Structure 1
Amino acid sequence: MGTKSNSHLLHHAFFTRTQAERESFNAYLIELKKLAKRCNLGVQEEEILKFSLISGLKNTELRESLFKFPELTMDQISERCRISEQFAKYSPSQSHDPVSMVEAVHSRAMTSRHTYQGQGFPPHVLNENRQFRPHAPNQSQQRYPHGQTQQYPH
């Protein structure tokens, strides 16, 4: 078999690759990226990979939703897919549409500039590991709920 036919087979495998029914998103993404590298797609690799990734998703609603936002980066697409997968995994009732839940989380994160990724926490209360910073009031103050303080004499 020649190099040209081998190249055609690699491209065929890449462009027809879809996410299997029980395949996790991460496993699907890793395999698709491996195929893309072997195909030598050139400067358009990222765009072609994004299109193929979305096209091959097993969740039809998520696929349609992602195609509405062509400006999304690979990281944003991956984040939405992982959130949707986690939601489906931990929500046995499926009473809520996972796609709309993902879109709601994404839009809240995009509109909230003064909070940590739209989670409702001001950045100054979180450390670099995205954990709450311990608050140590100075020695002359005792902190109470709702921000009230009581002064102690020195």
Structure 2
Amino acid sequence: MLLFTQLTAYLNLAELGIGVAAASLLYKPLSEGDYAKIKYLTLLLSTIYRYISFLVLLIGIVIGFGIYFFIDSVNAVSHVFIYWAFFVINTSLTYSYAKHSTLLTANQQYSVVRKIQGGGKILIIALQILLLVTTHNFLLYLLVETIGVIVQYFIFKNIINND
């Protein structure tokens, strides 16, 4: 599974610092209350992240087939393509809330972002350990990660909608 972790880390390179650049661009409109520009930039950011998410899924599927057909040792693991699909989906889903975390960061609320992501990661890992110890089911382990990413999306969305 180390191979999967390393490959999904490469898929995360698709972001290429867009979040940092967007946070820099959003800082001035946020400080001046220029809601038209904020709306424009967040819509643009949403579109960019949607394309990145799709690109990560597409490249992930291609890499998955490559792994399955060209690396013999991977075929020894049953359900390997399903595991890979979860890794890719989880990576892709993180881009669903990237615009929200970027907006909070630009609005000098990075501590909120860190609390949500850090707290979420602690809960996810605790649940994953519990599931592995009690069920020995790796698919459930991966499903917890997916659910955690989706929950984080709704938390970020709720915070942005209430601000």
Normalised by the length of structure 2, the TM-score is 0.29
Greater relative contact order (Cα < 8 A, sep 6+): 2
- Which structure would you say has the larger Rg? 1
Normalised by the length of structure 1, the TM-score is 0.30
Choose between structure 1 and 2: higher helix proportion.
2
